[in-house]
Amino acid sequence: MRLEDISLGIYEKALPKNISWRERLEYAKKLGFNFVEMSIDETDERLSRVEWNKEERKEVINAILDTGVRINSICFSGHRRYPLGSENPETRNKALELMKKVIDLALDLGVRNIQLAGYDVYYEESNEKTRELYIEAMKKVVKWAEKANMLLSIEIMDHPFMNSITKFLEISKEFSSPFLAVYPDIGNLSAWGNDIENEIKKGLDKIVAIHLKDTLRVTETFAGKFKEVEFGAGCVDFVNFFKLLKEVNYTAPLMIEMWTEKAENPLKEIEKAKEWIVENMKKGGYLC
């Protein structure tokens, strides 16, 4: 494949922070990306996006149409603060309320995929009860997604609850829905010491997108590092990973995940990372 034949995106948090969505999409276009992944995280600032009025939504829609750069997916990590598996019923209700609003926003913006963090709770202690509550809540969420014709995808995380595609496939049996898929993060998969080839092949028909980032491996004496590891400095074997993607004829989106929005020159950092990724795609034979 050629670079222009693949769907390559960039994470919103890689781009400069205090800019409009039009500027964000224009920067992505100049850098050679065809989509941006929006972040709705646990901060008040980004959670407030679910309350955008019609005019605010129209501004984003017009920017998408004018630039030709899509918002392909929403990374909804607001469930860190309001987890679906919380033992506090008020917190669970807030998590469900936010989920409904995120689905409505995605529908309005033409977003196809809402990526959910793969954990029952984050700041609370995970146990059998939180797992049960998570499954109970997710059953409601999946039904809302089905009604909206909206794809939900679970990210393989920096958290033991969902740190492999194998674990996703096991828990997905609880929902039996074509609208629930998996969104592997190659960095997270690698950091937990998973057999990458086995995991990708096992879940291939459920993979709808992949995060590209580097990480440092979890060991008996080290908790791992899952964010802000420079490409090439971590444990991910990118060349063999791209060989694998070529072997399985993977054509779904790939998204470079970075947190350089507050860097001195975010665009330069993105450009450098993209060049490194493309070089490794070529070494792996994924790109010609």
Q: Are 133 and 84 in contact (CB under 8 A)?
A: yes
**Is the Cα torsion angle 30, 244, 152, 2 positive or negative in sign?**
positive
Residue in this structure with the two tokens 């993105």, named with its chain if needed: 270
As a residue count, the chain comes to 288
C-alpha torsion 158→161→165→170, nearest 10: -170
Which runs of consecutive H residues, i.e. helices, occur in 195-285? 196-203, 238-247, 266-283
Q: What is the pLDDT of residue 234?
A: 98
User: For the segment 171-203, what is each residue's pLDDT rounded down to a tens digit?
Assistant: 999 999 999 999 999 999 999 999 999 999 999
Measured between alpha carbons, how far is 201 from 165 in angstroms, rounded to an integer? 10
Q: What is the pLDDT of residue 281?
A: 98
Q: What is the pLDDT of residue 52?
A: 98
Starting at the edge strand found earlier in the chain, the sheet holding 210-212 runs: 180-183, 151-155, 113-117, 70-76, 35-40, 8-11, 254-256, 210-212
* Prediction pTM value: 0.96
Q: What is the pLDDT of residue 160?
A: 93
Q: What is the pLDDT of residue 103?
A: 98
